Amino acid sequence: MELSSAKKTQLLNYKSISYTLYAVILVLAAAFPILAGQYYARYVIVMFITIIISIGYNISSGYCGLVHFASAPMYAAGAYGAAVMMVRFDMPFIVGLLFGILAACFVSLFVSIPAFRVSGHYLALISLGLVEIVQEVLVEWKGVTAGPAGMYLPNVSFLGSPLTWMGQYYFIFAVMLLSFIIQRSIVKSYLGRAFRSIKNDAVAATSAGINVRLFMFIAILISGIFAGTAGALYAGYSGYISPDTFGFDYTVYILLVVVIGGSGTLAGPLVGTLIITVLPEFFNASPDIKLFFYGLLLIVITISMPDGISGKLKKYLRAYSYERIPDSIEIKKYVALADCGLEENQGADESEDIMELNNLTKYFGGLAAVSNLNLKIKTGSIYSLIGPNGAGKSTTVNMITGMDRASTGEVIFRNQTLNLIEPYLISGLGIARTFQHVRLFGKMTVLENIMVGKHLAFRYGILGTLFRTPKMRYQETLNKEKALAYLDTIGLLDKANEVASSLSYGQQKLLDLARALAMEPKLLLLDEPCAGLNEAEINYFANLIKRIRNSGITILLIEHHMKLVMDISDRIIVLEYGKKIAEGNPKEIQENSAVREAYLGTAVAKYA
């Protein structure tokens, strides 16, 4: 796929502008204390610290979607943790910094643990309680924190030598740059994709094998690490801390920085800090006008730029730039189609049962959505589950995948009972699914959606993420090529860099299927994949489903399009009011009088 000269020039211009802008900011920041002097340099140091804590909040809230007000309590824990080590125990600053980070991580537990059960505004309310608790501790625990009087700290030393104001500037500047590098490394890894998928759709993320609770915990823990680092740096830089610095106002301030700068963007903390810190200085003579400006800025940015200033700029650049995608020939140089699971595979033993449902029952209140369902699914076959709306088809799929827990009965997959296994672990055992109502990660690209489907294939861990080890780079490259191969197989390769929500409905259905296939399942559950599609799209899906079956993947299909069901199914199960009323091959189902009366009707003759 060759770029036109215009596209090449356009892309080059945008890259040149971006790189030039970053280089200018870096040079100005490095030269600033020399050019501006001590007074303004100290002002910029505070901005650096704000950027550091905002990066942490951006990861937990902007990328993972966990809105909370715990930044100030974690910031306070970092500051006081460092101060206690330096003042009470006469420890060097580095020890204080490490202890401050540890203290902030401990405080983060009071947010991450409740996040296992609540989210949204409930999590925000819990974190508000944490703000008040930490404030009370700082004020009342006078033997440790010195209470309202605050704590004075000794001069900061590094490697045995006291740091001058310029030394402090460059030290904090270096930590801020490192924070940006770490943020980028996280966002560009499986960890960052997991965070973003949770923010987009936690249910779909779980179905892709992501342990949502664990990754929410990690996101808030990372936020605590950054907040603790910022707090310790602030304590060492300022030489004095008091409870007033870490109140509710500050946590709102950090929220404003991230929202206005661009929640869920790499540059958001930097842009937000510049705007929120610099512009209001013009109103210092009138504090009331300054508060009015904050409120007005928040309203205007939220309405006109929901993704913040950086998010708006990112959309603009995406609309006018071009990201090159390898064509199918290039992909096949690295990844064989066999890696996509769609090559002919005659090795499956069709005499084996891959799954058994034994007396499976699900009650919602007093209503039995599924009642005593017994079913055996043989390897390498297409089983179709049909019945009128409300018959219990989707509930059955939800029980298989662990989204709903069976009231009684059991689900056995490859000789393993699934009833008490977490949904994300079930995905890892070799079961993948699509959804009746498409659940994509709408704000992520098409390629990123497939990469989330490959989540379980990544094994490089947190150290590989931070240091971008050869193992990490290899796995990212290999799985990206596999993801592109899946897109090539289903005909969406040219859409790889487009946002998933921009696809047509039929293309979104294809992407949902491709993401499930990327998990390399043994059993694929398709919940009405052809609902809302036209005849041409249905025929395309029919051929694709046959290819999947011929590759050795077993399929359980829910579908209302009877011609499709009769054409591709090896066996059909009919449900009515949660009970199985018939099972057999397509011919037997068409001739079954009970099925005709309950579901198919006289129109069944045209499928024969």
Is the CA virtual torsion 123, 126, 132, 138 positive or negative?
negative
Report whether pLDDT(257) > 70.
yes
Q: What is the pLDDT of residue 606?
A: 47
Task: Identify whether residues 140 and 41 lie together within a single domain.
Answer: yes
Average pLDDT over the chain, rounded to whole? 89
CB 132 within 8 A of CB 5: no
Any domain includes 154: yes
Task: Identify whether residues 397 and 448 lie together within a single domain.
Answer: no
Any domain includes 320: no
CB 310 within 8 A of CB 516: no
Any domain includes 75: yes
Q: What is the pLDDT of residue 554?
A: 97
Specify the 3-state DSSP secondary structure of 504. Answer: coil
Task: Identify whether residues 529 and 547 lie together within a single domain.
Answer: yes
| Residue 112 main-chain phi, psi, to 5 deg | -70, -35
Q: Which of 147-151, 156-160, 252-256, 574-578 shows the lowest mean pLDDT across its residues?
A: 156-160
Report whether pLDDT(8) > 50.
no
81: burial class by Cβ within 10 Å (0-12, 13-18, 19+)? buried
Q: How confident is the model at residue 602 (pLDDT cuts 50, 70, 90)?
A: low
- Quote the domain boundaries for residue 13: 1-35
* pLDDT average, residue stretch 387-399: 93
Task: Identify whether residues 228 and 82 lie together within a single domain.
Answer: yes
Q: How confident is the model at residue 317 (pLDDT cuts 50, 70, 90)?
A: low
- For residue 362, the cross-strand partners are 370
Report whether pLDDT(347) > 80.
no
Overall domain count for the chain: 4
Q: What is the pLDDT of residue 402?
A: 95
| Residue 363 main-chain phi, psi, to 5 deg | -105, 135
Q: How confident is the model at residue 332 (pLDDT cuts 50, 70, 90)?
A: low
Q: What is the pLDDT of residue 124?
A: 87
Report whether pLDDT(412) > 90.
yes
Report whether pLDDT(12) > 70.
no
* pLDDT average, residue stretch 282-294: 72
Any domain includes 165: yes
176's tokens = 């801020």
Task: Identify whether residues 506 and 545 lie together within a single domain.
Answer: no
pTM above 0.85, yes or no: yes
DSSP class per residue in 294-322: HHHHHHHHHHH-TTHHHHHHHHHHHHH--
The structure tokens 């009071």 sit at 110
Percent of the chain past pLDDT 90, that is, above it, reads 72
409's tokens = 């009965």
Check which CATH number belongs to the domain holding 571 and give it: 3.40.50.300
Q: What is the pLDDT of residue 280?
A: 74
Any domain includes 302: no
Provide the phi-psi class of 456: left if phi over 0, else alpha when psi is between -120 and 50, else beta: alpha
Task: Identify whether residues 120 and 138 lie together within a single domain.
Answer: yes
Q: Could you say which of 520, 555, 583 is where a domain stops?
A: 520
5's tokens = 């000269």
Task: Identify whether residues 69 and 130 lie together within a single domain.
Answer: yes
Q: Which residues contact 482 (CB under 8 A, 6 or more apart)?
A: 335, 339, 340, 454, 518
Task: Identify whether residues 80 and 117 lie together within a single domain.
Answer: yes
Q: What is the pLDDT of residue 30?
A: 93
Task: Identify whether residues 483 and 463 lie together within a single domain.
Answer: yes
Q: Which residue has the higher pLDDT, 605 or 65?
A: 65
Q: Could you say which of 520, 541, 559 is where a domain stops?
A: 520
Any domain includes 317: no
Q: Which residue has the higher pLDDT, 17 or 392?
A: 392
Q: What is the pLDDT of residues 584-596, one digit of tens each?
A: 999 999 988 888 8
Q: What is the pLDDT of residues 31-58, one digit of tens each?
A: 999 999 898 999 999 999 999 999 999 9
Q: How confident is the model at residue 279 (pLDDT cuts 50, 70, 90)?
A: confident
* pLDDT average, residue stretch 305-312: 87
Q: What is the pLDDT of residue 2?
A: 44
For residue 45, how many other CB atoms are within 10 A of its CB?
A: 23
601's tokens = 């009707």
* pLDDT average, residue stretch 211-223: 96
Task: Identify whether residues 65 and 112 lie together within a single domain.
Answer: yes
Q: Which amino acid is present at 211?
A: N
CB 216 within 8 A of CB 64: yes
Any domain includes 367: yes
Any domain includes 261: no
Q: What is the pLDDT of residue 508?
A: 96
Task: Identify whether residues 498 and 555 lie together within a single domain.
Answer: no
Task: Identify whether residues 426 and 463 lie together within a single domain.
Answer: no
Q: Could you say which of 453, 487, 520 is where a domain stops?
A: 520
Exposure string over 561-586, b if 16+ CB within 10 A, otherwise e: bbebbbebbbbbbbbbbbebbbbeeb
Q: What is the pLDDT of residue 604?
A: 47
Q: How confident is the model at residue 339 (pLDDT cuts 50, 70, 90)?
A: low
